Amino acid sequence: MDEGSAWRVHAALRYRGTGVRDTLLLRFVARSGEPVDATAEFLPTTGGGAVLVVSRAPGPWTEEDASSLLDRSQDLVLSIRLKPTVTIRYVNAASAVVTGYSADELRSDPGRLMDAIHPDDRAMVGAAARDARRLEAPLIFRFRHRSGEWRWLEVSATPTLGESGQVVAIDGIARDVTVRHRLEEQFRLLAERSPEMIYRVRLVPDCGTDYVSPACEAVTGHPPEEFYADPWLLLRHVHPDDRPIVEGSIELAQDFCNRPLRFRLVHPDASLHWIEQVNVPVYDEAGRVVAIEGVCRDVTERQEVEATLQGMNRRMNLLARLTRHDILNQLTVLLGSLELAGTAENSTELAWFLSRSREAAWAIQRLTEFTRDYQEIGMGVPDWVSLTALVRRAADSFAGGGVAIEAPDEGWEIRADPLIEQVFYNLIENALRHGGKVGRVRFSVEAQQEGGAVIVCEDDGEGVPVNEKEQIFERGHGRNTGLGLYLSREILATTGMTITESGRPGVGARFEIRVPPDTCRVHRAPGQEGLLPRNG
């Protein structure tokens, strides 16, 4: 090597730290005396020396190098002149693999290329050959391989324009994307057949829906074309109370990645549905979130089942605790009375102790029956039932009692626990048992502007004292078992309904059952579309 190269090697050995790797530019002198440039990878060793891996420096890039590279390419590289006649100016050796035809065969008969394009795609390819704007994006079309198999080709081409602006030549690269296309087709079929909504929303450079599966209509009530027109359609119909957390999951997509998110969605028919969504952010090379891919599913039934199970578990724990306490109290009374009955000195004392024992036994029986009834709450699946039919069936038990029981107008339906009929029975019984001289019990429905309805039960009896309006719903309150209204409130709560008393003492009782929007509806008979039942 020359002196300069020797000095660079010496400096590397002396001044570079142990373990520091580098690349040196060296010049050697051949036997003929001609200089030869080379590169050496400097690899220090633990003994203080180094290993030099020397390779000859590459020479300037030549046309032969370019031709060799194109011939070794697995992609089909071609240049076609379109005017004045179609001529293949260049085609590399990959044509034999991609099309089945050798380069010489294609050059001798350029028509082979157009003839092998699928008839349904031929017009698209021909239009691209005439309009340079159509070549701005890759063309994907079907091509019959020499073997007879249809394959998918992706062509990226650059047009050459003539003086009048027409395409006179095309230079391009074609690659076989059959495997990729089949995988994409399998994914598309899977997505279209899935009951879950699959989507991709693009955020950069502009916002738009790249894909949404047909299941979006079943999940959200909106067809795919509405999502393509408005990429934020889903967010716009999220319940206002849930919108902040959904917006946060988009703004902080990386924090919510693969975490299920549940929220309420308002369907076009104003019904509320529980949606479970899982988002995955898509990043670019700079680490920016450029898109969001995700899955949505309707979990309304599962949400209701979970809520029902949680409510049942909470109620059963409360029931077990309270009932155990009450039964133990009554057993104490029973056992004490029986013990004292054995020490009674006369029949009067014995009769009193036995009477107390019977009362305690009856109380235990009522508590056991209450436990049975309470346990059945929430066991059935809520279903839509006619409000008018419910009231009429409950009223049948009081037929002949001399009291007029009025059912609400036809049309209203509520989605409730199968035990809902017991609620209306309890309301009628409560009016007759505690209302004094009652001549009428009237049920009606009042639609609410914000959605939902109020079921009203009012009578013309004595009413409820002001200080007892809330106490009457407590367990054990009242002159009888004290369980009827308590059970009614629990039954209504299984589907989100509430009950209160708002009547005036001396005028009559008025019970109001508030029904959420998603738990009531108006069933319209044919020819009665748009008509609502009268409010009372």
Q: What is the DSSP string of 173-188?
A: EEEE-HHHHHHHHHHH
Predicted TM-score (pTM) of this structure: 0.46
Q: How far is CA 168 from the centre of its chain?
A: 52
Q: Please list, in sequence order, all residues whose beta carbon lies within 8 angstroms of the beta carbon of residue 453, skipping any fewer than 6 positions away.
A: 412, 445, 446, 447, 514, 515, 520
Do 70-182 and 383-522 show the same overall fold?
no
The CATH homologous superfamily of the domain defined by 383-522: Histidine kinase-like ATPase, C-terminal domain (3.30.565.10)
Mean pLDDT of 129-133: 84
Q: In terms of C-beta density within 10 A (0-12 exposed, 13-18 middle, 19 or more buried), how is residue 62 classed? A: exposed
Q: Give the residue among 519, 485, 515, 477 at the shortest CA–CA distance from 498.
A: 515
pLDDT single digits (tens) 144-161: 999 999 999 999 998 898
Q: Judge whether residue 434 has pLDDT over 50.
A: yes
Which tokens go with 423? 């609620």
Mean pLDDT of 292-311: 84
Looking at residue 307, its pLDDT comes to 77
Q: How confident is the model at residue 436 (pLDDT cuts 50, 70, 90)?
A: confident
The CATH topology of domain 70-182 is Beta-Lactamase (3.30.450)
Q: What is the distance between the alpha carbons of residues 402 and 408, in angstroms, rounded to a whole number? A: 19
Q: Give the residue among 458, 440, 461 at the shortest CA–CA distance from 398.
A: 440
Beta bridge partners of 63: none
CB atoms within 10 A of CB 32: 6
End-to-end CA distance of the chain: 110
Q: Judge whether residue 371 has pLDDT over 60.
A: yes
DSSP letter at 286 equals T
- Ranges of beta strands (E only) in 31-178 are 35-44, 50-56, 76-81, 87-91, 139-144, 150-161, 167-176
Q: Judge whether residue 379 has pLDDT over 70.
A: no
Q: Judge whether residue 480 has pLDDT over 60.
A: no
Q: What is the distance between the alpha carbons of residues 358 and 336, in angstroms, rounded to a whole number? A: 12
* Largest Cα–Cα separation, the chain: 145
Beta bridge partners of 404: 440
Q: What is the distance between the alpha carbons of residues 264 and 297, in angstroms, rounded to a whole number? A: 12
Region 198-298: CATH code: 3.30.450.20
Mean pLDDT of 70-91: 88
Q: How confident is the model at residue 529 (pLDDT cuts 50, 70, 90)?
A: very low
- For the ranges 30-44, 86-100, 118-132, 176-190, which has the lowest average pLDDT? 30-44
Q: Give the residue among 510, 516, 509 at the shortest CA–CA distance from 448.
A: 516
Q: Domain coordinates of the chain in residue numbers?
A: 3-56, 70-182, 198-298, 314-376, 383-522
pLDDT single digits (tens) 247-277: 887 777 666 676 788 999 999 988 889 999 9
Q: Judge whether residue 536 has pLDDT over 50.
A: no
Mean pLDDT of 110-122: 92
496 or 326, higher pLDDT: 496
Q: How confident is the model at residue 531 (pLDDT cuts 50, 70, 90)?
A: very low
* Omega within 30 of 0 (cis) for the link into 205: yes
Q: What is the mean pLDDT of the chain?
A: 83
Mean pLDDT of 204-224: 90
Q: Is 170 within 8 Å of 80 (Cβ atoms)?
A: yes
Q: Judge whether residue 496 has pLDDT over 60.
A: yes
